[in-house]
Structures are given as structure tokens and as C-alpha cells.
Structure 1
Amino acid sequence: MDDNTVRLALQRHWDASDAGDFEAEHDIYHEDAMLNYPQSGERIRGRRNIQDSRHLQPNKKRFTVRRMIGSGDLWVTEFVLSYDGVPSYTVSIMEFRDGLVARETQYFAAGFEPAPSRAHLVERSGAAS
């Protein structure tokens, strides 16, 4: 699978995620895919379990992709995931096998104000830019 094809598959995945289309969102995963959330210590095995875990999440979710970068079997997406309007700055690392995601790791972070010690050095870019 060439890089452009993977990029298009990722775009379909994130568009489906934003639309709440749980079937299309999970077409990108191998049946035996594994999803890791290091911050909570969770590991979810299997495409159906990944899909069910997301379907059961009660919050209204919105996805705003900021950047996708990768090549071959390793791709990283930086995006803002809003739960009920509250943004979480997120990185998804996807490892592909045979054109499908075999392993994904997601990291989440809340926004914060710049530290006073460097406030005079920063250019404010806005909360979600």
C-alpha cells in the first residue's frame, strides 16, 4: 500500500470518527488489532472490542485533525478530540500491517497556560490551532 493510499484511508477514518460512523471508523483496523492508552493503562484487543469501547463512550465527540505524517507502516496523527466541547490534544500512533492498523497507541493532554517564566517568549496560537 503506497503512502497516498494510507493517507486517504486515515482521512476516511478520522472523518468517520468525527461523524460518529462507528462502522466506517473501524474499517481501518485488522481483526486482531490492539489499541493502547498508556495514560490509563488500558489495552484493548480486537477490532470489535475497539469499536465497542468507542461506541459505549457516552460523550459527544468531535475530531479536528491538525496533522498526519508518516510513511510505510508507521503513521502519526495529531488532532484535537473534543468531548462535549472540552478539547483534549491527542496523538495517535498507528502501525500498519498488510494495509490495515495492527497497533495503535493514543496519548491525550489537556490544554494549559504558558508558564510565567517563558510567557514573554511565546507567541499565542490559540487553544486549538
Structure 2
Amino acid sequence: MQEDKIREALSAHWHASAVGDLDAEHGIYDDDAICDYPQSGERIIGRSNLQALRSHHPGKPSGFNVRRMQGEGNLWVTEYTINYEGRTAYTVSIMEFCNDKVIHETQYFSDPFEAPGWRSRWVQKIA
């Protein structure tokens, strides 16, 4: 898959995720795709299991914002935020493509934290 087609497929995937269109959201995955959540030690095997898991999430996302997509060849990274029940999760998705479909995804989730004051003279605040 050419990089412009991958970027287009990813944009459609993230848009579908944001609006809650589960079928369109999961169309990017191969039937046998693997999705890893390293922080919880979980692996989801197969598109149908991944879609079922996400469709049963008790705290449906109320906000979703892609901050950056970057990739080359078959490896793509997306940084985004998801709002669950008034809390923001900063998220990184690493996707590996084969034959126009995602065959492996790893997702990392992080809670925001207050920056310590001691480093304020060396940093700038970002949104």
C-alpha cells in the first residue's frame, strides 16, 4: 500500500473511531490482526475480538483528537487523545501494515500529569 493510501486509510479509521462507527473503524484491520496493550499485559487476537472488546467498553469516548500521524512504508505511528468520562488519555498507536491491512497494533495509554515547577525555566507549555 502506498504511503498516501495508508494515510488516507488511517484518517478514515481515526474519524470512524471518533464518531463511533465501529464497522468503519475496524475495516482497517486484517481478520487475524493482533492488538497489544503492553501496560495491562493484554493481547487481542482477531479483528472480531477487537471490535467486540471496543463495542463493550463501559465508558464510551466523548472526545477524540489526532495530534499527529507519522509513518513510512508499513510502519505508522499516531499520537492522539481520547476523553473517557471527563478524563483525557494520551495515546500512541503503532500500526504495522501488510497487504493494505493492519496486522499488528500496539497501543500505549497515559494519564496527564502536572509538570513540576523546577523545570519551568527550560520548557514551554503546549496544549
TM range (shorter): over 0.9
| C-alpha distance in 2 between matches for 1:71 and 1:114 | 32
Q: C-alpha displacement at 1:66, in angstroms?
A: 0.3
Q: Please list the CA deviations of residues 35-89 of structure 1 after superposition, one character each: whole Å capped at 9, or x if unmatched.
A: 0000000000000000000000011212200000001100000000111231100
Q: Provide the aligned C-alpha RMSD in A.
A: 0.9
After TM superposition, give the deviation of residue 116 of structure 1 in Å. Answer: 2.4
For residues 86 and 60 of structure 2, the distance between their equivalents in structure 1, rounded to whole angstroms, comes to: 8
| 5+ residue gaps, structure 1 | none
| AA of the residue aligned to 1:85 | G
Letter matched to residue 29 of structure 2: Y
Counterparts of 2:86 and 2:23, CA distance in 1: 23
Q: Does 1:58 align with 2:58?
A: yes
For residue 57 of structure 1, give the secondary structure of its aligned residue in structure 2: coil
Q: Normalising by structure 1, what TM-score?
A: 0.94
In structure 2, the residue matched to 1:120 is: 121
The answer for the alignment partner of 2:111 in structure 1 is 110
Q: Determine the structure 2 residue equivalent to 1:5.
A: 5
Percent identity at matched positions?
51
Superposition deviation, residue 102 in structure 1: 0.1
Match for residue 71 of structure 2? 70
- How many positions carry a matched residue from both structures? 126
* Moved >2 Å (runs of 4+): none
